[in-house]
């Protein structure tokens, strides 16, 4: 259980109250990121989000059932690759490019280049 005090900063408060938990930048680890990026469907999601705009889960066409799609987004979020936020009934997704580049410089671009070959 996390304790919110006067000294707690805004990012910590958001993380503690976020219904969709995301690792903080310093908690993003290489193993889970590589695992998340190793699946072809998750790589398609990341490639779509790499175009820069926030996208809903439904807007990324994947040839899998809804439960499998949900699983892929969860793996990406829990690894720290994407950020999700709830907007009404939709979950909007964005790539955590800045955080990933800060932790593992060049990794995301290298993976996306290799995927496009």
pTM for the model: 0.82
Mapping DSSP onto H, E and C, the string for 35-100 reads: HHHCCHHHHHHHHHHCCCCCEEHHHCCCCCCHHHHHHHHHHHHHHCCEEEEEECCEEEEEECHHHH
For residue range 5-46, what is the model confidence (pLDDT) as tens digits? 555 555 555 555 567 889 999 999 999 999 999 999 999 999
Domain definitions of the chain by residue range: 10-115
For residue range 43-89, what is the model confidence (pLDDT) as tens digits? 999 999 999 899 999 999 899 988 899 999 999 999 999 999 998 98
pLDDT of residue 36: 97
How many residues are recorded in the chain? 117
Answer for the pair 21, 35: CB distance below 8 angstroms, yes or no.
no
Domain 10-115 has CATH 1.10.10.10: yes
Distance CA 90, CA 93 (A): 10
Q: How far apart are the first and last CA of the chain?
A: 45
Answer for the pair 15, 22: CB distance below 8 angstroms, yes or no.
yes
Distance CA 102, CA 98 (A): 6
Distance CA 12, CA 106 (A): 27
């Amino acid at each position: 259980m996390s304790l919110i005090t006067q000294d707690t900063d805004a990012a910590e408060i958001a993380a503690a109250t976020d219904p969709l938990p995301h690792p903080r930048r310093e908690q993003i680890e290489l193993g889970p990121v590589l695992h998340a990026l190793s699946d072809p469907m998750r790589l398609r999601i990341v490639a779509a989000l790499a175009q820069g705009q926030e996208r809903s889960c439904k807007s990324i066409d994947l040839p899998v059932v809804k439960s499998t799609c949900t699983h892929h987004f969860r793996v990406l979020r829990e690894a720290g690759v994407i950020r999700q936020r709830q907007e009404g009934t939709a979950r909007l997704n964005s790539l955590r490019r800045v955080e990933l580049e800060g932790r593992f410089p060049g990794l995301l671009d290298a993976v996306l280049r290799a995927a496009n070959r």
